[in-house]
Amino acid sequence: MNLNAYLLLNIPGSIVPEQEIITFGEQRLTYEELIDRTGRLATTLSTYGVQQGDRIGFVATGCCEMVEVFFAAFQLGAVIVPINYRAKTEELAFMIQDSGVKILFTEQRYATLISPILEKSSIEKTIFIGEHQEIGIPYEETVGQSVETMFDFADVEDSDLAILLYTSGTTNLPKGVMITHGQLTNYVLNHAEAADGSNRGATIISVPSYHVAGATSICNSIYSGRRLILLSQFDAGEWLHVLEKESATHAFLVPTMLKRVMDHPDFISINLSSLQSLSYGAAPMPFPVIRRAIDVFPPTTEFANGFGMTETTSTVSVLGPEDHKLTGTTDEINKKIKRLSSVGKPLPDVDIMVLDENGSPLPSNEVGNVYVRTQKAMKGYWKRPDASKETLVNGWVNTNDLGYLDEDGYLFLNGRSSDLIIRGGENISPAEIESVFISHPEVADVAVIGIPSLEWGEEVMAVVVARNPDQPPAVQELIAYCKDRLASFKRPASIVYTLELPRTPTGKILKRDLKESYANSSLTK
């Protein structure tokens, strides 16, 4: 049976049309209103010549229109391309040109950035959400009352593309990950039941739509009847106040967001009692952050860590709520504390294996390359067959992550294989060194990189954010701290301070940028 992802809206909308499903500031939309506006937009896009398989770009912050564009694209059998609005100019131009976007939705704030790109792209029409310039079409014109609502939807194959999501490009230009209608619908149908009018709570969405967790969260909530509470962009103070005002029951945060929420001065005064579940992921979670969260959030809030990739259509392993409850015997508590540094166990429909450099399986507790097998794996990279073959290997996804499985099947990650530092022939995992630094009480954040060395090929550098930037710990103090906890060849040859580490919007450290900044640094011997 072929399923168009538009059914994720159409099915619950036919069951409970009057149910409110989207909240954005003072805006409220029911299923009926959402289907009507989506259908009008689909009609307009059809008159613009959009056909099945055409790409529709979206460069804008979170809003109701974002959801409408998603489902209008699905309805027509077109491919939605959510694009990182924080991308560098050359990356933005590349993603638009590489995908061959036909219709682009954006906001006034990005007009100056996008205008020079339009002339060199395949974009035929630009539609502005909110305020607009003369060069584009006002969004509200595309959903006006004079426009007839389209109710039918394209007959698609399971293998037809639904979403083209570009990777964050932490090491090179982003690659377009092809997610099909079959993969997306199967993911949602296997994780949620259709809305039936019962109270499924409300999810506050602060992860952008160009991240796989944002895209799948939208689809999950729409299908299940869990009200979507949208934020234009993440702001810790706004997140707290909106959560309290709207009595949000579910939320997803990346580690950086969670830390900022807890550090916000309003945190102690906000009523968080409505929050039943807080999921986190998308980037490594520093142990002190999650340990603190368990203590300061209400005891009724359950935590879950989800590990996944764009290439696997989101989650493949979960560290569940029970693993976050630090109860039991001393040995049980100690084991749970250790597992807080893991990403949990594979989901029932997922297999995980760890291989050595020769492709042979490794026993428990030995670090190697992590491979994942799941039916939700991407179709491949857009126009990148060679890269697709490197990542999709005999039915397995090469995650390019280093890690190990413990004796109970819990997956521990040790960083990206591309971040591996090779010093004098010794392989060094930055994650191991970073975990030592982050355990120091005066270190707020850290990134460990390899920088060129004439003697060793690469040397270890630690880029540190101090908890008190005005009085950072002495470099020699940190060196001594490392000396007691790391093998000699793993200890940083140099330590530098910075006020903030460069990160993607989902919290991943842009080590490419750091390496470029410190490539010519002199090393401390």
- 525 pLDDT tier (thresholds 50, 70, 90): very low
What CATH number should be reported for the domain holding residue 426? Answer: 3.30.300.30
Q: Report which of residues 213 and 243 the model is more confident about.
A: 243
What pLDDT is stored for residue 36 in this prediction?
97
Query: What's the rounded Cα separation, in Å, for the pair 406 and 316?
Result: 17
Number of domains in the chain: 2
Q: Would 131 be classed as within a structural domain?
A: yes
Q: Would 187 be classed as within a structural domain?
A: yes
Average pLDDT over all residues of the chain: 90
Q: Report which of residues 67 and 327 the model is more confident about.
A: 67
Q: Would 287 be classed as within a structural domain?
A: no
Q: Tell me: pLDDT of 316 over 90.
A: yes
Please name which of 171, 257, 173, 174 lies closest in space to residue 449, comparing C-alpha atoms.
171
Polymer length of the chain: 525
Please name which of 319, 309, 320 lies closest in space to residue 373, comparing C-alpha atoms.
309
Encoded tokens for 418: 């591309």
What pLDDT is stored for residue 267 in this prediction?
97
Q: Report which of residues 135 and 244 the model is more confident about.
A: 244
Kindly give, in sequence order, each residue whose CB lies less than 8 Å from that of residue 380, ignoring residues fewer than 6 positions away: 178, 388, 392
Q: What is the mean pLDDT of residues 209-217?
A: 90
Kindly give, in sequence order, each residue whose CB lies less than 8 Å from that of residue 326, ignoring residues fewer than 6 positions away: 294, 333, 336, 337
Residue ranges with strand state E in 144-285? 161-166, 176-180, 202-205, 227-230, 250-253, 277-281
The pLDDT tens digits of the residues spanning 31-51 come to: 999 999 999 999 999 999 999
- 168 pLDDT tier (thresholds 50, 70, 90): low
Q: Would 463 be classed as within a structural domain?
A: yes
What CATH number should be reported for the domain holding residue 55? Answer: 3.40.50.12780
Give the gyration radius of the chain's Cα atoms.
24
Residue 452's domain spans which residues? 417-518
- 521 pLDDT tier (thresholds 50, 70, 90): low
Q: Would 275 be classed as within a structural domain?
A: no
What pLDDT is stored for residue 294 in this prediction?
94
Give the end of a domain, one of 233, 266, 286.
233
Q: Tell me: pLDDT of 232 over 50.
A: yes
Q: Would 71 be classed as within a structural domain?
A: yes
Q: Would 345 be classed as within a structural domain?
A: no
Q: Report which of residues 503 and 359 the model is more confident about.
A: 359
What pLDDT is stored for residue 282 in this prediction?
77
Q: Where are the alpha helices (DSSP H) in 300-379?
A: 321-324, 330-339
Q: Tell me: pLDDT of 170 over 70.
A: no
Q: Tell me: pLDDT of 524 over 50.
A: no
Give the end of a domain, one of 196, 216, 233.
233
- 523 pLDDT tier (thresholds 50, 70, 90): very low
pTM above 0.85, yes or no: no
- 122 pLDDT tier (thresholds 50, 70, 90): confident
Q: Would 298 be classed as within a structural domain?
A: no
Report the first-to-last Cα separation within the chain, whole angstroms: 64
Q: What is the mean pLDDT of residues 65-78?
A: 98
The pLDDT tens digits of the residues spanning 344-398 come to: 999 998 999 999 988 899 999 998 999 999 999 999 999 999 999 999 999 999 9
Question: Which helix (H) or strand (E) element contains residue 265?
Answer: none
Q: Tell me: pLDDT of 287 over 90.
A: no
Give the end of a domain, one of 208, 233, 258.
233
